[in-house]
């Protein structure tokens, strides 16, 4: 709870944010500048303050003593207090019209109460030590005597004791501590204002008011400060123009604000309301006056305002930047005012641009912690300033703003103007802050949606900057701003693209794919930093994949050779790579390339943590806890919610494509010793369902796929299709695709084909011949298609059969091997494996092979020799030529697909 709320009225509703800020300041001060103390000492304080401080500190000690019933010390402190008050008396009479400060009265009253209480408690008094009871007597007498002078005040106080004495205590304490406990900016404001105020204006924010006003005084500062921060977050609609609020405040508005706040007050509603109204007059006057006072501070009253003067002033304001005691908010205000002044006096757009730019940096400065997002209203302000600056820049072609302009070459007087500054960096930071803001709020709330609406504005701003850099900017700068635009574009789906592909809209309509093409091609050609190009390629592929441009996307992946060196990239790029791969997989699936889809997704899914790999949320780690630092870094990397890829969809696509590949494969290699799993994850699912003693009807997506797989194993395509494509799965998964009907059709088609293959593999040993037309009928496929599928199986030697054309049947040749034969085959397989492994080992360790595995390998070699003798000398060419072909292909980049797609997915390991 804020300790600065003297009247403690608003604190309940508003405090949380305030508190954060307050602690921030304190923290900041704790770390910064070691010369803190000196600086504090240097500050000139008014006598009043000094005295008051003294008083409050003594009151505090008294209170402490009272708590532990240390009466002798209370006595000495009381004596100190009276003496201090005596000293302060001239100030009090001067400043407060002789009215005793309220806190002093309160102290006296409390003291009296305390004494009475102790005195009354006879039992307790008897137990007191001698020293204590003696002091108590003295104290009682002295207090009684002293109090007589304040009879009136006391009685008045007793009539209306403060509601929240605690709060005031705190204030007092803070006031006294203020000097050393990292005096926060608000007190600073007060002081500055106090100093700035001419002595004559006594009614200004000085504590000239009677004791009561002491509270309201504090609250004035707070009110003026806190409104801007808190209200607009309370209700954004209220927020209109920040600057307006800073400059002139109308009571009506405040009233309105008060009303709003009132709703949230829980206790003491009425009283506070009354107070607020009481305070209002005084309050408003002060603030307005404060600003009136500020203006002459900007410039001398009748100084002629011209460019150098404004620039000097700007320099003066900005030179305070980054210093410990600068009030950053005030700085922003001042800059706004300066801008208004320069506009009023027509000092030219260049100056205006310069001031704009400085406002931007001042707003950026306001937030000191990089990891935390800016406040929303600051960000909105920033956006507005940014846009107006870019509009100015675009409207005036003769202004050059860039980093390369040296300070001394700046030119404001005559065209062409030169201004130092970098809108690129500013817009990049703006964008980053926006992402942070998005990540800050709950993605399922309306908040997120309303914030996401600002995305349009961000894109607009980026567009403005882009226009500016297209007019004047180096290639590097253009690349950077292009990349920004790309990053806002690549994950958005544009239905126009597909319509255009089908020729539903005229060919001239611009689509996002074309924009991407243009931007990316520029970057490919002109970029000289590798990172921008890499990211552009990834985004480009992602965009293509999203719009079903499978071949383009695939070719880009293969030609960029990204798989080879993505390991070396930074985590953000690796995340983008993973996202791209996921999307490419989805695209391949939609485009009926099941195998490719599986290849793309397998690396993501096999780890079991696609969520983490795609930066869509943190998983709890089992082995070791993350340190706070690590967690913070990882959180920073997360994607904002609206860019997420649906994980269930991803998993489903992966499992289904694994099913389509794996089930026929299992059926074909049922007794094969060298059978390998195509997809580990799919196997796990299958096995875990097999382990269950009782399998109910499928509920989740995974269960559906497993059930479908089981149906497919017996070649029951209808059941399989029903498990994959049904109402539940539609809502869960398939409806997420843009053309879901087409995908479903495609799925059914594939299920039919693969079921047919599985059926043939599984049941070929019970047939001597099968009629093709009846197969076609069974699987509801055209005879042509069945014929083609069977032909393919025969050619690839998967099925030992041949077609009999006149009777339209498949004649099986398969003969079951005897046990000995089967064992021999298995044995041969194992031997072949051994040779394979040997070759692999040799390839791997070619360099330093002989230092290590010499002995162990000799045995192996001997073993092979024996095998060779047994096998005779049929040195066939088949395997050899096959190998050669494989090696030759390795060079062809497109043929490499298989190898290429076994890329290692990048685990986003922590650095």
Partner 1 sequence: MAQFDLTRINCQYLDRHLTFPLLEFLCGKEIYNQQELLEYILETVNKTNMIDYTMDTRKRLNLSQEMPEELVQRKAEVLATLKQLQNEVAPIMKATDILKNGESMKDSKTFVNALQKDYNFKLEHLESAYKLAKYLYECGNYQESTSYLYFCLIVMSPNDKNYLNVLWGKLAAEILTLNWNTALEDLTRLRDYIDSANFSTIQALQQRTWLIHWSVLVFFNHPKGRDLIIEMFLYKPLYLNAIQTMCPHIMRYLATAVVINRTRRNALKDLIKVIQQESYTYRDPITEFLECLYVNFDFEGARLKLHECQTVILNDFFIVACLNEFVEDARLMIFETFCRIHQCITISMLADKLNMKPNEAECWIVNLIRNARLNAKIDSKLGHVVMGTQPLSPYQQLVEKIDSLSMRSEHLAGLIERKSKQKNQESIDSWKYY
Q: Does 51 bind partner 1 (CB under 8 A)?
A: no
Determine which residue in the list 874, 904, 909, 911 makes contact with partner 1, applying CB under 8 A. 874
831 makes contact with partner 1 (CB under 8 A): yes
Of 110-118, 222-230, 599-607, 864-872, which segment contacts partner 1 by CB under 8 A?
Answer: 864-872
Q: Coil, helix or strand for 301?
A: coil
Residues in the chain: 911
Cis peptide bond N-terminal to 374, omega within 30: no
- In the list 881, 899, 902, 910, the residue contacting partner 1 (rule: CB under 8 A) is 881
Which of 671, 873, 909, 911 lies at the binding interface for partner 1 (CB under 8 A)?
Answer: 873
Stretch that binds partner 1, among 5-13, 156-164, 366-374, 877-885 (CB under 8 A): 877-885
Q: Which of residues 147 and 800 has its CB atom nearest to partner 1 in the complex?
A: 800
Which of 404, 467, 565, 888 is the binder for partner 1 (CB under 8 A)?
Answer: 888
Taking CB under 8 A as the rule, does residue 859 contact partner 1?
no
Least spacing, CB of residue 879 vs partner 1, in Å: 3
Write out the binding residues for partner 1, residues 477-516 only, by CB under 8 A. none
Q: Render 470-525 in DSSP notation, one character per residue.
A: HHS--HHHHHHHHHHHHHHHTT---HHHHHHHTTSS-TTS--HHHHHHHHHHHHHH
Among 815, 844, 856, 911, binds partner 1 (CB under 8 A): 815
Q: Which is nearer to partner 1, 493 or 551 (CB)?
A: 551
- Contact call for residue 800 and partner 1 (CB under 8 A): yes
899 contacts partner 1 (rule: CB under 8 A): no
Report phi then psi at 411, rounded to 5: -140, 120
Applying CB under 8 A, among 29, 73, 194, 889 the residue interacting with partner 1 is 889
Residue appearing with tokens 């992602």: 542
Q: Which of 530, 842, 899, 902 binds partner 1 (CB under 8 A)?
A: 842
Which candidate, 543, 551, 542, 548, places its Cα nearest to that of 500? 548
Distance of closest approach, residue 739 Cβ to partner 1, in angstroms: 19
Is residue 802 at the binding interface for partner 1, with CB under 8 A as the rule?
yes
523 near 536, Cβ under 8 Å? yes
826 near partner 1 (CB under 8 A): no
By beta-carbon proximity to partner 1, the closer residue of 296 and 817 is 817
Separation CA 246–CA 230 (nearest Å): 14
Residue 885 touching partner 1 (CB under 8 A): yes
Q: Does 840 bind partner 1 (CB under 8 A)?
A: no
Task: Note whether 190 binds partner 1 by CB under 8 A.
Answer: no
Q: How far is the CB of 594 from partner 1 (least distance, A)?
A: 15
CA distance 86 to 92: 10
* 604 close to 575: Cβ distance less than 8 angstroms: no
Element (H, E) at 166: helix 165-177
- Cβ atoms 430, 383 nearer than 8 A: yes
Is residue 876 part of the contact set for partner 1 (CB under 8 A)? yes
Q: Minimum distance between the CB of residue 565 and partner 1, rounded to whole angstroms?
A: 17
- Of 846 and 904, the one with the shorter C-beta distance to partner 1 is 846
Site for partner 1 in 529-588 (CB under 8 A): 551, 559
Are the beta carbons of 545 and 600 closer than 8 angstroms?
no
Distance CA 747, CA 811 (A): 30
**Burial class of residue 850, CB neighbours in 10 A (0-12, 13-18, 19+):** exposed
Q: Which of 378, 535, 787, 900 binds partner 1 (CB under 8 A)?
A: 787
Please say which residue, 509 or 807, places its beta carbon nearer to partner 1: 807
- Check binding of 835 to partner 1 (CB under 8 A): yes
Residues 6+ apart with CB under 8 A from 457: 383, 387
Measured CA to CA, the distance from residue 527 to residue 524 in angstroms comes to 6
Tokens of 387: 């846009």
Asked whether position 895 contacts partner 1 by CB under 8 A, the answer is yes
Q: Which is nearer to partner 1, 243 or 544 (CB)?
A: 544
Q: Which of 630, 631, 491, 637 is nearest to 572 (CA)?
A: 637
Q: What angle do CA 909, 370, 478 make, to 5 degrees?
A: 80
> H-helix or E-strand containing 802?
strand 801-804
Does 856 participate in binding partner 1 (rule CB under 8 A)? Answer: no
Contact segment (CB under 8 A) with partner 1 among 209-217, 350-358, 688-696, 885-893 equals 885-893
Q: Which is nearer to partner 1, 344 or 870 (CB)?
A: 870
> By CB under 8 A, which span of 2-10, 410-418, 469-477, 805-813 interacts with partner 1?
805-813
Q: Smallest gap, in angstroms, from Cβ of residue 796 to partner 1?
A: 11
Strand 399-402 vs strand 417-420: parallel, antiparallel, or unpaired?
A: parallel
673 touches partner 1 by CB under 8 A: no
What is the DSSP code string of 809-863? EEEE---PPPHHHHHHHHHHHHHHHHHHHHHHHHHHTSTTHHHHTHHHHHHHHHH
Cβ of residue 783: shortest distance to partner 1, in angstroms?
A: 11
Compute the least distance from the CB of residue 807 to partner 1, in Å. Answer: 8
How big is the site for partner 1, counted in residues (CB under 8 A)? 63
Q: Which stretch binds partner 1 (CB under 8 A): 435-443, 496-504, 597-605, 820-828?
A: 820-828
Interaxial angle between packed helices 512-526 and 475-489, expressed in degrees from 0 to 180 and rounded to the nearest 10: 150
Is 833 a binder of partner 1 (CB under 8 A)? no
End-to-end CA distance of the chain: 38
Told to check if 861 binds partner 1 by CB under 8 A, we report: yes
Alpha-carbon distance of 713 to 758, in angstroms, equals 7
Q: What are phi and psi of 8, to 5 degrees?
A: 55, 20
Whole-angstrom Cα distance, residue 85 to residue 98?
Answer: 12
Phi then psi for residue 817, to 5 deg, are -70, 150
Q: Does 852 bind partner 1 (CB under 8 A)?
A: no
Nearer to partner 1, 194 or 791 (CB): 791
Scanning 2-10, 124-132, 182-190, 782-790 for contacts with partner 1 by CB under 8 A, the matching segment is: 782-790
Which is nearest to 1 in space by CA: 166, 228, 206? 166
Shortest distance, position 822 Cβ to partner 1, whole Å: 8
Q: Which of 129, 565, 768, 784 binds partner 1 (CB under 8 A)?
A: 784
The residue from 406, 795, 844, 855 that contacts partner 1 (CB under 8 A) is 795
Residue of 322, 506, 696, 806 that binds partner 1 (CB under 8 A): 806
Q: Quick one: 503 or 891, whose CB is closer to partner 1?
A: 891
CB of 370 to partner 1, least distance (A): 41
Of residues 700 and 885, the one with the C-beta less far from partner 1: 885
* Residue 501 near residue 509, CB atoms below 8 Å: no
Contacts of 793 (CB under 8 A, 6+ apart): 757, 760, 799, 801
Q: Does 521 bind partner 1 (CB under 8 A)?
A: no
- Cα–Cα distance for residue pair 325/29, rounded to 1 Å: 9
- How wide is the angle at C-alpha 427 spanned by C-alphas 425 and 433, nearest 5°? 105
Residue in 36, 318, 828, 907 binding partner 1, rule: CB under 8 A = 828
416 in contact with partner 1 (CB under 8 A): no
* Chain positions contacting partner 1, by CB under 8 A: 551, 559, 784, 787-788, 790-792, 794-795, 800, 802-807, 811, 813-815, 817-818, 821, 824-825, 828-829, 831-832, 835, 838-839, 842, 846, 849-850, 854, 857, 861, 864-865, 867-868, 871-876, 878-881, 885, 888-889, 891-895, 897
């Amino acid at each position: 709870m804020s300790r600065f709320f003297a009247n403690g009225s608003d604190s309940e509703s508003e405090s949380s944010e305030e508190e954060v800020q307050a602690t921030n300041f304190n923290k900041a001060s704790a770390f910064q500048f070691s010369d803190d103390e000196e600086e504090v000492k240097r500050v000139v304080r008014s006598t009043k303050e000094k005295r008051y401080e003294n008083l409050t500190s003594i009151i505090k000690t008294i209170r402490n003593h009272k708590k532990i019933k240390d009466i002798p010390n209370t006595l000495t402190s009381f004596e100190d207090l009276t003496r201090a008050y005596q000293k302060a008396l001239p100030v009090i009479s001067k400043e407060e019209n002789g009215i005793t400060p309220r806190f002093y009265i309160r102290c006296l009253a409390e003291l009296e109460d305390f004494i009475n209480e102790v005195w009354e408690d006879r039992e307790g008094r008897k137990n007191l030590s001698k020293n204590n009871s003696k002091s108590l007597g003295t104290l009682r007498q002295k207090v009684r005597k002293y109090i007589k002078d304040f009879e009136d005040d006391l009685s008045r106080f007793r009539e209306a004791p403060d509601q929240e004495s605690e709060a005031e205590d705190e204030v007092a304490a803070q006031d006294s501590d203020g000097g050393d406990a990292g005096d926060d900016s608000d007190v600073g404001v007060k002081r500055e204002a106090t100093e700035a105020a001419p002595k004559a204006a006594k009614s200004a924010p000085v504590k000239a008011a009677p004791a009561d006003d002491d509270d309201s005084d504090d609250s004035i500062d707070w009110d003026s400060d806190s409104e801007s921060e808190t209200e607009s977050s309370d209700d954004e609609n209220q927020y209109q123009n920040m600057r307006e609020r800073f400059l002139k405040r109308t009571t009506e508005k405040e009233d309105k604000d008060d009303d709003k706040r009132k709703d949230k007050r829980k206790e003491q509603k009425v009283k506070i309301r009354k107070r607020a109204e009481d305070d209002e007059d005084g309050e408003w006057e002060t603030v307005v006056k404060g600003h009136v006072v500020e203006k002459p501070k900007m410039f001398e009253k009748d100084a002629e305002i011209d460019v150098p003067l404004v620039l000097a002033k700007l320099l003066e304001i900005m030179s305070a930047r980054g210093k410990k005691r600068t009030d950053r908010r005030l700085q922003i205000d001042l800059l706004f005012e300066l801008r208004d002044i320069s506009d009023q006096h027509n000092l030219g757009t260049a100056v205006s641009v310069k001031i704009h730019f400085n406002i931007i940096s001042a707003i950026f400065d306001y937030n000191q912690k990089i990891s935390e997002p800016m406040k929303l209203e600051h960000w909105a302000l920033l956006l507005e300033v940014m846009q107006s600056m870019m509009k100015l820049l675009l409207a005036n072609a003769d202004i050059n703003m860039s980093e390369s302009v040296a300070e001394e070459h700046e030119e404001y007087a005559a065209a062409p103007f030169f201004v130092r500054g970098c809108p690129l960096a500013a817009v990049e930071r703006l964008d980053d802050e926006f992402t942070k803001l998005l990540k800050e709020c709950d993605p399922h709330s309306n908040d997120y949606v309303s914030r996401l609406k600002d995305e349009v504005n961000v894109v607009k701003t980026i567009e403005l900057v882009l226009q500016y850099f297209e007019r004047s900017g180096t290639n590097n700068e253009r690349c950077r701003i292009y990349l920004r635009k790309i990053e806002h574009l690549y994950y958005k789906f544009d239905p126009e693209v597909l319509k255009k592909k089908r020729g539903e809209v005229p060919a001239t309509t611009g689509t996002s794919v074309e924009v991407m093409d243009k931007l990316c091609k520029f970057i490919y050609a002109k970029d000289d930093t590798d990172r921008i190009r890499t990211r552009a390629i990834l985004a480009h592929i992602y965009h293509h994949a999203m719009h079903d441009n499978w071949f383009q996307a695939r070719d880009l992946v293969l030609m960029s050779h990204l798989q080879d060196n993505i390991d070396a990239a930074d985590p953000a790029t690796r995340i983008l790579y993973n996202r791209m791969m996921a999307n490419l997989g989805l695209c391949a699936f939609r485009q009926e390339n099941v195998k490719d889809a599986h290849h793309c997704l397998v690396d993501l899914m096999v780890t079991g943590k696609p969520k983490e790999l795609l930066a869509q949320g943190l998983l709890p780690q089992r082995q070791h806890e993350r340190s706070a630092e690590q967690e913070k870094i990882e959180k920073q990397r997360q994607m904002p919610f609206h860019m997420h890829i649906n994980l269930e969809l991803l998993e489903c696509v992966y499992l289904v494509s694994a099913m389509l590949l794996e089930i026929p494969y299992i059926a074909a290699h049922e007794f094969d010793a060298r059978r390998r799993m195509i997809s580990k994850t799919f196997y796990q699912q299958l096995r875990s369902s097999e382990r269950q003693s009782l399998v109910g009807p499928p509920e989740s997506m995974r269960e559906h796929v497993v059930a479908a797989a089981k149906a497919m194993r017996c070649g029951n395509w209808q059941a399989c299709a029903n498990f994959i494509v049904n109402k539940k799965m539609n809502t869960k998964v398939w409806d997420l695709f843009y053309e879901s009907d087409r995908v479903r059709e495609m799925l059914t088609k594939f299920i039919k084909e693969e079921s047919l293959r599985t059926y043939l593999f599984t049941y070929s040993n019970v047939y001597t011949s099968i009629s093709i037309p009846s197969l076609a009928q069974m699987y509801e496929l055209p005879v042509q298609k069945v014929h083609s599928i069977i032909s393919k199986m025969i050619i690839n030697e998967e099925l030992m059969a041949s077609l009999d054309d006149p009777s339209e049947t498949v004649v099986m040749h398969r003969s079951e091997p005897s046990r000995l034969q089967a064992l021999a085959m298995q044995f041969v397989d194992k031997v072949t494996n051994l040779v394979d492994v040997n070759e692999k080992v040799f390839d791997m360790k070619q360099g330093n092979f002989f230092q290590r595995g010499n002995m162990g390998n000799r045995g192996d070699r001997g073993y092979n020799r024996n095998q060779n003798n047994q096998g005779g000398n049929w040195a066939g060419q088949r395997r050899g030529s096959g190998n050669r072909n494989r090696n030759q292909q390795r060079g062809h980049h497109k043929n490499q697909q298989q190898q290429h797609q076994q890329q290692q997915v990048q685990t986003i390991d922590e650095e």
